[in-house]
């Protein structure tokens, strides 16, 4: 985990596997790096955005959620709401304007 943090990989995107016994009394655990947002988490994020009643549209595209709106203030409010919420994944925000 320390090596992943040094490389700039968020620890929230690591999915731990089962712990297996290894040589000389040690144990081994494989970690899987999760890329993108699963469909279930995407639906939770879209539902949270719609619950804010802001004039923005949210849609799931492959492994990301795209939010579009006319006002920049509404988009910034959505970003702040998503940063405050806990969805179990590391969220990254990209401005496409």
CA angle centred on 16, ends 62 and 78, rounded to 5°: 40
d(CA 6, CA 84): 25
Q: pLDDT band at 18, cuts 50/70/90?
A: very high
The CATH fold of domain 39-84: Alpha-Beta Plaits (3.30.70)
**pLDDT number for residue 97:** 60
Domain with CATH 3.30.70.860 in the chain: 39-84
Q: Of 11, 12, 45, which is closest to residue 56 (Cα–Cα)?
A: 45
Question: What are the contacts of 10-15 at 24+ separation with CB within 8 A?
Answer: 10/90, 12/88, 12/89, 12/90, 13/89, 13/90
Mean pLDDT of the region 81-93: 83
**pLDDT number for residue 85:** 82
Judge whether residue 61 has pLDDT over 90: no
């Amino acid at each position: 985990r320390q090596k992943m943090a040094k490389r700039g990989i968020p620890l929230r995107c690591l999915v731990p596997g089962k712990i297996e016994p290894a040589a000389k009394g040690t144990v081994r655990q494989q970690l899987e790096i999760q890329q993108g947002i699963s469909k279930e988490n995407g639906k939770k994020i879209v539902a949270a955005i719609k619950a804010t009643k802001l004039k923005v549209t949210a849609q799931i595209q492959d492994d990301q959620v795209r939010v579009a709106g006319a006002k920049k203030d509404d988009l910034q409010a959505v970003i702040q709401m998503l940063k405050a919420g806990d969805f179990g994944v590391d969220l990254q925000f990209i401005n496409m304007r």
